[in-house]
Structure 1
Amino acid sequence: MSGVSREYVKDNEAEWRLDKWFKVHFPGLSYGRLSKLLRKGDIRVNGKRAKANLRLEGGMEIRLPPLGKDERAAPKPQKHKKHLSEEDVDMMRSMVIYQDDSVIVLNKLPGLAVQGGTNTKKHVDGLLDALQGTKDERPKLVHRLDKDTSGVLVIARTGAAAKKLTESFKTRQTNKVYWALVKGKPPQQEGAVQAPLDKEPGTKGERMAVSEDGKRAITDFKVMDSAAGEVTWMAFRPVTGRTHQIRVHATVLDTPIVGDGKYGAKDAFVEGAVSKKLHLHARNLEIEHPNGGTLSVKATLPKHMSESFDMFGFDADDESNPFEEMDNV
């Protein structure tokens, strides 16, 4: 056929739908016209007929029939990246603890939101341009941490990596361990909290509460050390992934996380020089790497938690697996 041309799917376009690919590259081609060309077989992918919802892979060949001038209209120029201050760029880069072609891992600072919201102008998602480097794609979030929780935060560098990582988090194919300092001491050294959670009525979803009608929520816990029973260093492993799960389950044990006024009120604070910031840190994460194998990362404590560990004589360099014995039972 005279005028037939061929295009090739770029790696950063992997997982796009075919209709999205045409919308980006041929914005003048209407969906109705695209559908007709696909039905007639005038457009083919790797030599075969295709549907609009076909998921693409990098390197695929797309055969195009002759198209009109308007249909071949050039795509709209991309918007310029948001200008970031040197301070913000330095902050984002300073949080990087691991990086390869598919993944970036941050040790997120406490007090920095992951995504924007009401009255939240500075957040990780809005600063990801600082980590794009020479990649064609902007990095993508694949999971979340509370604003005041520090520690391991995984970022995908490609669409293909984002899909695989998101699926791993969604299906709980991860092993996450959090460290926390709590007020008081739990009734037992280790165990699991099984308490369903739901949004607390009247709080517009800003607080969660234990509810018989809530979603299943399970958190493993283990006491790591204790300072005269006043403050306890605990490891938590969320089996499920509900909002504020660890924070609420800590109160179920009658040991609110130090600094967690939202759920522990005045009982969450320790008199003296102990910081009033939340003492909850995503310490370890093991997850399937999108390119194969296992990605295992560990994040050091933020300044306020490190100071509290020193104050109570806890070992911030502990490398043990707190849940090894529980897993072997």
Structure 2
Amino acid sequence: MKWWIATILVPALAWPSDNARSQADTVFISNPSFEADVALFSQDTAGWIDCGFLSEAPAAVQPGQYDVRMAPKDQRYYMSLVVRENYTWDAIGQKLEKPLEPGKCYEWTVYLAQSPHYVDYARRHAGKVRYNNPIQLFIWGGSGFCQAGQLLAETAVVKHKNWQAYRLVFRPQKPVYYITLHAYYLNPLAAAYNGHILVDNASHIVSIPCTDQPEKPLDASKVLTLSPPSLEALERYIALHGPHIIFSSKKLELEEKADTDFFRPEYLSYAHMSVIAKGLRWFPGQKLIVGIKPRPKRQLDARIAYISQYLRDRGLKPEQYTVVVYEKTDKAAWLAESPNIALRLAPVGESERGGE
């Protein structure tokens, strides 16, 4: 399926005020300037909520954190969103006061920038690193909080160090009740990296006439999100993240920090397993089969129990996962393998063997 997008960089004073627009054609955004006193990340409020990873810090209200000191574009505060080299990223979302309707066109303007400095902790390096690489912003529409249902728009890669306005044109294919702003890599399938983007002074969403000029289509199948849009996308998640999940060689838990005996920089296993578990929750008819490799044999039973508890703690129902002893009978049966585990999907109720 093609997701139609349009992104135009515009001068700061190119747009009429909200008062000049018809309220009947306007979908109002709550807290469009990301002010700290109402930027409460809770689904019980009307403002923005955190849609990122439980294993990571939420998106930050700026300025003043992570060495970010740029003045806001509007009022007192703005947001920073980051991507990380462990394949995690920031995202925020909110419920719209009324839905975007399919077949109509809308425009939304937001100011974006990069800070000259952005320094935060990185587990891989066990210390602070720069998050100065440029990234882009995706806007998703869905039927629930943080749902990546339809890719409504994307920006170009943002690397300018001053506030610039971006006009985004939405053309939804189905009703949109929630929107999500998603920080994203230039090319995550090549390599993840640390980067950031600053967001401020968003407009309300305004209905506009649709044009007959075709817009550039985006291949959304290559986009990683926390709510995979299809079963095929979930399989890609597992194929991408599964090879990076290993156990610590010194204690009974997933590898997280540098281990001189057995460590690879990309093996930040908690984050990779978290992506898979969170994505699986959108597919109640599928279960994850985890095959634990039997070396060392003395840790086999304990590792099976550990992974079972890990998935249970991430909110998966018992019927959505099975942890078994790995059987190397058919390598093609597994979507992904690491030195310690193998992963595949199966419909709920299918055989629970560790191989085919």
Where on the TM-score scale, by shorter chain, does this alignment land: which range? under 0.3
Name the one with the larger strand percent.
2
Name the one with the larger helix percent.
1
**How high is the TM-score relative to the length of structure 1?**
0.26
